[in-house]
Amino acid sequence: MSSDAMESASSYDPTSKQKAQAKTARIPIKIVPAETLKKPDWIRVKAATPNSRFYEIKAILREHKLHSVCEEASCPNIGECFGKGTATFMIMGDKCTRRCPFCDVGHGRPDPLDADEPENLARTIAALKLKYVVITSVDRDDLRDGGAAHFVDCIRRTRELSPTTTIEVLVPDFRGRDDRALEILKAAPPDVMNHNLETVPRLYKEARPGSDYAFILNRRKKFKALHPGVPTKSGLMVGLGESDEEVLQTLRDLHAAGVEIVTLGQYLRPTLEHHPVAAYITPEKFDWYRQQALDMGFSYCASGPMVRSSYLADEALGSVRLKRQVSAKA
């Protein structure tokens, strides 16, 4: 081993939160340098307005020792969403046990679960008077249930303090723990169940090392069989090098698994150490994807360059409920 490698190994701290190069350097698939594409004019990030709730919400999150995926994953819509008084809360810490090279959430050995987090989360949601809340998490492969019981605690306490608030959960894949996790979630199923498929199966090895496309689809089917009345949702990034036909087949797979809501958005590279952008997809192509999804039978599809999984989530649920009402009357 070289002296540089020995020094790197000796200085490695698994408990620290690793970002960018420190995170992606240890994945089995190395990031291959590629030409940095110029961002087109249609990639526009909306900044928070001076009179919005942006800084108020950031202060409340810090006060209650909470994390938002909006901040941790560097979401481009953070100014718009925080400004409107909405946020996607990230539970179980800010260190993920995975090293997906498209994602900006930090990697590291997670801290022990915070027993006060369900209470802090519920009180924050109540204080903000949110009508619709999304609760997500880092992957916790260190936990025997993948964190399912902690999700249940958060859902229960939130419902106790905010009984009229709609709760969507954006869960990890519970790899190797799905049956245990699904059994635990029976105690307090969410109003909307979401898990992002993220990309097409061919790109899983390079974009989602540690995840399995077929396993995720099968778990979606299992959840739908247990909770047929709970709307299910998933999201895809495009611009990683997929073809149109691969996107369409992935949409077909999601629809066959019982997914009713789907989102498609442009992948944006957080840093130069992350997976490169292979292409910037035009707004017209996103419109085409949306029409294809609706023609397949999805109840709702949000598709656009700046669309993210939780963007306009309340509108999506409204469309699902309306479609169900129409179907019931038919």
- Residue ranges and CATH numbers for the domains of the chain are 44-190 (no CATH), 196-330 (3.30.750.200)
Q: Is the pLDDT reported for residue 150 higher than 60?
A: yes
Q: Is the pLDDT reported for residue 302 higher than 70?
A: yes
| Separation between Cα atoms, residue 116 and residue 168, nearest integer Å | 21
Largest CA distance in the chain: 73
User: How is residue 169 written in tokens?
Assistant: 């959960």
Residue 50: pLDDT band (50, 70, 90) is: low
Mean pLDDT of 129-151: 91
Mean pLDDT of 132-160: 94
pTM: 0.85
Q: Is the pLDDT reported for residue 148 higher than 50?
A: yes
Is the model more confident about 189 or about 173?
A: 189
Q: List the beta strands (DSSP E) in the chain.
A: 67-68, 88-91, 132-137, 166-170, 192-194, 232-238, 261-266, 300-303
Nearest partner of 93 among 76, 74, 116, judged by Cα: 116
Nearest partner of 261 among 180, 166, 194, judged by Cα: 194
Centre a 10 Å sphere on the Cβ of residue 109 and count the other Cβ atoms it contains: 13
Residue 265 φ/ψ, nearest 5 degrees: -145, 165
pLDDT of residue 7: 41
**Rg, the chain, Cα only:** 20
Q: Is 75 exposed, middle or buried (0-12, 13-18, 19+ CB in 10 A)?
A: buried
Question: Helix crossing, 213-226 with 244-256: angle to 10°?
Answer: 30
* Opening angle at CA 317, ends 89 and 164, nearest 5: 65
